[in-house]
Chains A and B, each alone.
Chain A
Amino acid sequence: MAETLISVPPRARRGEIVEIKTLISHPMETGYRRSQLGARIPRDIIRLFVCTYNGAEVFRAALHPAIAANPFITFSTVATETGTLTFHWTGDNGFSVKETAEIRVE
């Protein structure tokens, strides 16, 4: 299971722009490297990252092999209501990790 690190402010004022930082452990194997025996190492990357806020999509990123290992993504969203932010990473070889974070809006 891939480890994730998510930073979401636990509390925010309504309408405030909050910064969200996400990090997930993943090798992001490009598919362009060769092993010492000369065999091509198959591609194994995270292809898609989606963030939803109480079910509504607020951010989506399509990743390519040029994203560094352990993808780190920072973006922002407007704190509209108290609820749950869901982070979903999907990729090659059936990779799928979902994490959630709570935010309280006052």
Chain B
Amino acid sequence: MPLRTTRREFLRAATAGMAAIVAVRPAAATPAAMQDAIGAVVGTARVTKGRVKLELPPLSENGNAVPLTVSVESAMTPAEHVRAIHVFTEKNPQPDVVSVRLGPRAGRARVSTRIRLADTQTVVAIAELSDGSFWSAEAAVVVTLAACLEET
């Protein structure tokens, strides 16, 4: 008897296979892990998009040192300033990147550093303002050489 697969059978098998792939938890942080990490910082507060500017190169050749700058629109006065800036990644082994605390004495809310990116992914920056509100920005980065996981 020739082996014939109906369209219905094929689709059923394909769906089962896909479910199996999804069920295997990857070693890296997932967007869900990032959401958990963000939740740990913001609690139940609402995060609004805007006011934050996240500067990252859209294409990075080397994931071991990717320049990152976060700036937030704020007067930085004692009455109204940025209290903290947090950066998270989606697919690094761990979602946290850096958490910065600043205040009116910073003068302007702008921080730069260099980060590692293990994969092509989205980076999220969240700013905590003195009035208790949270603002965010995100940027997608294509990484051609991932931050290495082996000894060099």
* Interface residues of A, Cβ cutoff 8 Å to B: 17-18, 30, 32-36, 41, 53, 56, 58-69, 71-78, 80
User: Which of B89, B94, B110 is in CB contact (< 8 Å) with A76?
Assistant: B110
- Known A-B contacts A17-B107, A53-B105, A60-B101; A72 and B114 likewise in contact (beta carbons under 8 Å): yes
**How would residues 74 to 109 of chain B score, 1 for a CB under 8 Å from any chain A CB and 0 otherwise?**
000000000000000100111011111111111110
Nearest-neighbour CB distance to chain A for B101, whole angstroms, equals: 4
Residues of B within 8 A of A77 (CB): 105-107
- Other A-B contacts than A65-B93, A74-B113, 17 sampled, CB-CB below 8 A, are A17-B108, A30-B93, A33-B151, A34-B150, A60-B102, A61-B100, A61-B113, A62-B99, A64-B94, A67-B97, A67-B98, A67-B114, A68-B66, A75-B102, A77-B105, A77-B106, A80-B105
Residues of A within 8 A of B106 (CB): 58-59, 75-78
Residues of B within 8 A of A75 (CB): 100, 102, 106, 110-112
User: Which of A35, A56, A68 is in CB contact (< 8 Å) with B65?
Assistant: A68
- Known A-B contacts A17-B108, A59-B106, A68-B65; A34 and B96 likewise in contact (beta carbons under 8 Å): no
Q: Does any Cβ of A come within 8 Å of B122's Cβ? A: no
Q: Does any Cβ of A come within 8 Å of B115's Cβ? A: yes
Nearest-neighbour CB distance to chain A for B29, whole angstroms, equals: 10
Residues of B within 8 A of A32 (CB): 93, 149
